[in-house]
């Protein structure tokens, strides 16, 4: 078995609580994330993911959140250079937003696609480019995990129990998939970044 390295990689990134949840019972509550998301380990983790990527793949809800906020960071007084770098990358990259309700993209360099996630990713992987980065879009990541289309699984684990809310890893994922740990880092407040490559 070898790690997949040929062609474009599908890289997924998600922040999780210690009890495996990516959101509280109130999906708009981001207070639990903020103390950890601004640590050096979390910022370096994200930088290492977006630098080799040329396409962002998002669900509609995350697209609206990410593309509503991150462009405002560019030129913001006191912004961390890593945050500003990510914001510029997000604005300048090709973006694919999976949605059955949006018809027109309000953002530049964005395609709206209403097709099954696995088909969209298969088409993207057949084109030239760098990594395809899925940014915290749980529905997209879940579909890709179920279809065994994730090549690199990146997680930041924040040392807090949420006690309720949705989990990233549902029952019914392909059994006995093997993953290789390619990087790990621990930082301020106990934040942990982990990156695994799918062994095929």
CATH number of the 10-199 domain:
3.40.430.10
- The H-assigned helical ranges of the chain are 34-37, 40-50, 60-69, 81-92, 117-125, 138-146
Averaged confidence pLDDT in the chain: 92
For residues 180-189, give the mean pLDDT.
Answer: 95
Average pLDDT on 130-138 reads: 96
Using one digit for the tens of pLDDT, what is the confidence trace for 19-66? 999 999 987 788 899 889 999 999 999 999 999 999 999 999 889 988
Quote the CA–CA distance of 87 and 162 in Å, as a whole number: 28
Residues 110, 62 contacting (CB under 8 angstroms): no
CA neighbor of 168 nearest in space, from 157, 182, 184: 157
Residue, of 197 and 31, whose pLDDT is higher:
197
The average pLDDT across 123-151 equals 96
Spell out the domain ranges in the chain: 10-199
pLDDT of residue 6: 62
Per DSSP (E only), the strands in the chain are 10-17, 53-59, 94-98, 110-113, 131-135, 152-158, 178-186, 192-199
Pairing outcome for strands 131-135 and 10-17? parallel
CA-wise closest residue to 197 among 184, 171, 178: 178
């Amino acid at each position: 078995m070898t790690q997949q390295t040929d062609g474009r990689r599908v890289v997924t990134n998600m922040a999780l609580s210690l009890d495996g949840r990516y959101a509280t019972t109130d999906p708009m509550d981001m207070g639990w994330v903020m103390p950890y998301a601004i640590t050096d380990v979390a910022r370096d983790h994200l930088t290492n993911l977006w630098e080799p990527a040329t396409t962002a793949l998002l669900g509609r809800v995350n697209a609206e959140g990410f593309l509503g906020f991150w462009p405002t960071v560019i030129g913001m007084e006191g912004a961390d250079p890593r945050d500003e770098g990510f914001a510029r990358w997000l604005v300048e990259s090709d973006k694919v937003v999976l949605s059955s309700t949006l018809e027109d993209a309000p953002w530049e360099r964005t395609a709206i696609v209403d097709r099954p996630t696995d088909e969209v990713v298969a088409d993207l992987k057949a084109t030239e480019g760098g990594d395809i980065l899925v940014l915290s879009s749980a529905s997209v990541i879940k579909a890709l995990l179920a279809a065994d289309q994730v090549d690199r699984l990146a997680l930041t684990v924040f040392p807090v129990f949420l006690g309720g809310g949705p989990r990233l890893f549902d029952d019914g994922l392909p059994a006995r998939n093997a993953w290789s740990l390619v990087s790990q880092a621990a930082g301020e407040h106990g934040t942990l970044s982990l990156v695994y490559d799918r062994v095929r």
